[in-house]
Amino acid sequence: MKPILTSKRLALSELSGQDTPFIYQLFNDPDCLRFIGDRGINNLASAKVYLNDKLINSYQIHGFGLYKVTKKNDNQAMGICGLVRRDEINPPDIGFAFLPNFRSGGYCTEAAQAVLNWVREESISDEVLAYTNLDNHASIRVLEKIGLRKQAVTTLPGQDFQSMVFKINLT
């Protein structure tokens, strides 16, 4: 699939039904379960439903979503990064999750910066939010590196842990 956006090393493209095993693997990673929460993806069938209903459906509804991140010269899925629209009141929020083998290589920061640049260039939103578990120090570092600043602490609907709210103005 043709990339939605690229960075120096990475390509971000829409997820497809072929990404079901990747989504299963990603959302069952212990860190993903700990910091993002259990999405009820306990087999390939539930991964396919989540992929179609939550991730792919967002492209049609909102015009954006979470995208598969790969190296430019390789189609192996490393993680996801993109925008999530939680409600119609608040700005979209940036989200990301990477498989363990692709953490600590700067890939998440590079992908997240590419998403922010894209949001700015395409005038998708004047502001972007982010939510992360208070204990997710790696995500907090990424968000701060790309310019988001801490705003508040909240508990998101359906979660049993508190999240730090971050924000950036893009104007």
Which residue's entry shows tokens 């995500």? 139
In a domain, 110, yes or no: yes
Q: Angle, nearest 10°, between helix axes 107-121 and 137-145?
A: 40
Q: Which residues 6+ apart lie within 8 Å of 30 measured at CB?
A: none
In a domain, 82, yes or no: yes
pLDDT the model gives residue 75: 87
Number of domains making up the chain: 1
pLDDT the model gives residue 46: 96
- Check: CB of residue 161 under 8 Å from CB of residue 33: no
Structure tokens at 110: 């590079």
pLDDT the model gives residue 3: 82
Using a cut of 0.85, tell me whether the model's pTM lies above it: yes
pLDDT tens for each residue of 90-112:
899 999 999 999 998 999 999 99
Per-residue pLDDT tens, the chain, 171 aa: give them: 678 899 999 999 999 999 999 999 999 999 999 888 889 999 999 999 999 999 999 999 999 999 999 999 888 999 999 999 988 888 999 999 999 999 989 999 999 999 999 999 999 999 999 999 999 999 999 999 999 999 999 887 777 778 899 999 998
Cα–Cα distance measured from residue 84 to residue 140, given in angstroms and rounded to the nearest whole number:
17
In a domain, 118, yes or no: yes
- Check: CB of residue 132 under 8 Å from CB of residue 33: no
In a domain, 145, yes or no: no
- Residue 16 is part of a domain; what is its CATH number? 3.40.630.30
Domain enclosing residue 57, as ranges: 5-123
In a domain, 155, yes or no: no
pLDDT the model gives residue 82: 98
In a domain, 138, yes or no: no
Which residue's entry shows tokens 């999240």? 163
In a domain, 142, yes or no: no
